[in-house]
């Protein structure tokens, strides 16, 4: 068998094979920890074998799909990787979506197996759509056939499977914040590219990663896979809690964590933050939602270890990286493209724009691009842009610009741009004006229909603890800092911004809930 170094040197290797190599080299090294449960590399490798052998025993063939909807657990991780070892792809699904949405995604993925747990099974009793996939209960509940009984006996080995680099590794469903979720097919080559860049940010055999985002999210896998394939230890939270995060970080001497911006907010504001020993941290990461320059600066100042922000899409294309602790004067940006990635700015007609001008960001990379949306060729084509040479790019839907140093800044989502009186209004500018008020903890701005302007901007704010500032005073404060074409028509104070499970503000819900005077 090839050494770990030889395996990693391949243009595209096998993630399950790397885990097997670590099991041979350091069988007793902790691989996965959740609460009081722990599985070493020998145990993880053996459990992956039993999953893969059980799928093969039941007739699952390479190219098939298994779906998983459950909260984080050790069997979840082993099932995910065991299915890949058998040559299948995995569709990890959000447990908290509506029952019929979950059933629709299982059907869309054409999954033949559905791994779930008791909470998901209870929710599915309200589904009106049938689920024909074979159900396996990861927690041995009556949600389906018990996982422990379904597995092959200890010591079972699956038949070796050769997987083409272009074959599907997983199918990540979009959050559905802009419509019906689409299955984003990611290849083995795309996932391998995430593994190969792990050593750039200190992942290795002594890594201890604290996972506190859900396993169905691409955000999570970008951190989980380098941890396990490079021989580190994965400490999991089944559900995020800031106080528990701090306790686990200190207890396990955590070195790495992938967090979304709202989690940084909760952790930094927790009363235990300044008294928790976080000196073991080497690197922290952020992605999935806008991260304010002020908060990045605070993380760099107060939290030991480096801070890296990723900008990219589950669909892939191009990725930008901001090494925040090295570029304190660029915290308002999302950094520069990863080596080999090509990111450009285009206008609404598909023409490239020069530095300094705002347009849609599109990205291309040799292996880090989705195969396409599962079963949706038209949607796939709509997500692509080709330059004059025919080179394929993925549209991000984000509007931004590139500065003279090659750093990219984001001004908002293309779909969120407000066209008011014929002028483009970028919500991020208005949100920045609102959060400049000391009483405001968070803000989001959306456009609503207006008979006078076509669209007009309205703001939603969450007040800082103990604050009682009136909404009209906040509107006056912000508008004094904005141009005449940007001014807010209304501001509403709400208890919390609606967010997805990985922290994205659900602006569609804000538009739906607004019924104020600005609509007239």
Write the Ramachandran bin of 155: left for phi over 0, alpha for psi from -120 to 50, otherwise beta: left
Of 313, 322, 318, 314, give the one whose Cα is nearest residue 341. 318
Write the pLDDT tens digit of every residue in 62-109: 999 999 999 999 999 999 999 999 999 999 999 988 899 899 999 999
Q: What is the pLDDT of residues 230-263, one digit of tens each?
A: 999 999 998 999 999 999 999 999 999 999 998 9
With a cut of 50, say whether residue 176 has pLDDT above it: no
Residue 335 in domain? no
Domain match, 298 and 352 both? no
Same domain, 232 and 127: no
Whether 296 and 210 map to the same domain: the answer is: yes
371 lies in the same domain as 256? no
Residues 225 and 267 grouped into a single domain: yes
For 61, 124, 202, 368, 386, the CA distances from 394, given in Å and listed in that order, are: 31, 35, 29, 10, 9
Query: Which domain range does residue 404 map to?
Result: 341-408
Q: Which long-range contacts (CB under 8 A, 24 or more apart) does 3-9 make?
A: 4/231, 8/195, 8/196
In a domain, 327, yes or no: no
| Three-state DSSP class for residue 86 | coil
- The average confidence (pLDDT) of the chain is 94
Where is average pLDDT lowest: 186-195, 398-407, 415-424, 457-466?
415-424
Q: Quote the DSSP letter at residue 317.
A: S
Q: Looking at the DSSP assignment, which residues form a beta bridge with residue 257?
A: 210, 284
For residues 272 and 250, the answer to whether their CB atoms sit within 8 Å is: no
Domain co-membership, 381 together with 268? no
Same domain, 302 and 427: no
Q: Has residue 330 been placed in a domain?
A: no
CATH of the domain at 297: 3.40.50.980
Which of 167, 189, 211 is the last residue before a domain boundary? 189
Is 116 found in the same domain as 2?
yes
Whether residue 172 is found in the same domain as residue 256 = no
Q: Is the model's pLDDT at 115 over the cut of 70?
A: yes
Torsion of CA 349, 176, 398, 414, to 10 degrees: 50
pLDDT score for 178 = 42
CA distance 453 to 207: 54
**Same domain? 12 vs 32:** yes
- Give the domain-ending residue among 371, 390, 408: 408
- Both 123 and 259 in one domain: the answer is no
Which of residues 377, 408, 439 is at a domain's end?
408
Residue 180 has pLDDT above 70, yes or no: no
Check residue 141 and give its pLDDT.
Answer: 97
267 and 141 co-located in one domain: no
Domain total of the chain: 4
Rounded mean pLDDT, 57-62 = 96
Residue whose token pair is 């990379």: 365
């Amino acid at each position: 068998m090839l050494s770990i170094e030889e395996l990693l040197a391949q243009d595209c290797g096998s993630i399950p094979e790397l885990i097997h190599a670590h099991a041979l080299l350091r069988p007793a090294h902790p691989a996965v920890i959740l609460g009081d449960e722990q599985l070493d590399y020998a145990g993880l490798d053996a459990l992956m074998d039993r999953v893969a052998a059980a799928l093969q025993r039941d007739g699952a063939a390479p190219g098939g799909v298994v779906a998983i909807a459950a909260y984080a657990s050790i069997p979840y991780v082993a099932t995910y990787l065991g299915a890949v070892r058998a040559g299948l792809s995995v569709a990890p699904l959000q447990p908290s979506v509506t029952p019929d949405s979950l059933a629709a995604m299982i059907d869309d993925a054409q999954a033949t197996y559905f791994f779930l747990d008791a909470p998901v099974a209870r929710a599915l009793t309200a589904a009106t759509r049938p689920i024909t996939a074979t159900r396996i209960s990861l927690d041995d509940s009556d949600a389906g056939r018990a996982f422990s009984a379904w597995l092959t006996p200890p010591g079972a080995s699956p038949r070796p499977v050769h997987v083409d680099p272009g074959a599907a590794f997983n199918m990540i469903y979009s959050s559905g914040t802009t419509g019906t979720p689409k299955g984003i097919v990611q290849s083995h080559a795309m996932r391998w590219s995430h593994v190969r860049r792990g050593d750039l940010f200190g992942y290795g055999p002594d890594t201890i990663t604290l996972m506190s985002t859900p396993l169905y999210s691409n955000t999570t896998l970008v951190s989980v896979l380098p941890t396990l394939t490079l021989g580190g230890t994965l400490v999991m939270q089944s559900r995020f809690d800031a106080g528990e995060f701090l306790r686990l970080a200190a207890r396990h001497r955590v070195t790495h964590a992938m967090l979304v911006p709202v989690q940084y907010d909760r952790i930094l504001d927790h009363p235990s933050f300044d008294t928790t020993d976080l000196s073991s941290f080497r690197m922290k990461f952020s992605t999935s939602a806008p991260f304010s320059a002020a908060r990045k600066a605070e993380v760099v100042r107060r939290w030991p270890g480096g801070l890296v922000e990723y900008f990219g899409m589950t669909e892939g294309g191009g990725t930008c990286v901001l090494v925040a602790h090295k570029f304190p004067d660029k915290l308002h940006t999302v950094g520069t493209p990863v080596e080999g990635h090509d990111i450009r700015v285009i206008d609404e007609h598909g023409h490239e724009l020069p530095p300094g001008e705002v347009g849609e960001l599109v990205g291309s990379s040799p292996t880090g691009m989705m195969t396409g949306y599962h079963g949706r060729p038209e949607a796939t084509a709509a997500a692509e842009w080709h330059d004059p040479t025919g080179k394929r790019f993925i549209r991000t839907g984000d509007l931004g610009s590139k500065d003279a140093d090659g750093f990219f800044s984001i001004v908002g989502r293309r779909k969120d741009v407000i066209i008011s009186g014929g002028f483009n209004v970028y919500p991020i500018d208005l949100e920045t004006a609102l959060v400049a008020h000391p009483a405001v903890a968070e803000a989001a701005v959306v456009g609503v229909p207006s008979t006078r302007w076509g669209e007009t901007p309205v703001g939603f704010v969450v007040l800082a603890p103990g604050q009682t500032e009136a909404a009209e005073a906040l509107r006056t404060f912000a508008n004094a800092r904005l141009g005449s074409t940007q001014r807010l028509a209304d501001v509403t104070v709400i208890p919390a911004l609606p967010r997805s499970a990985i922290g994205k503000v659900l602006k569609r819900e804000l538009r739906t809930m607004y019924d104020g005077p600005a609509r007239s």
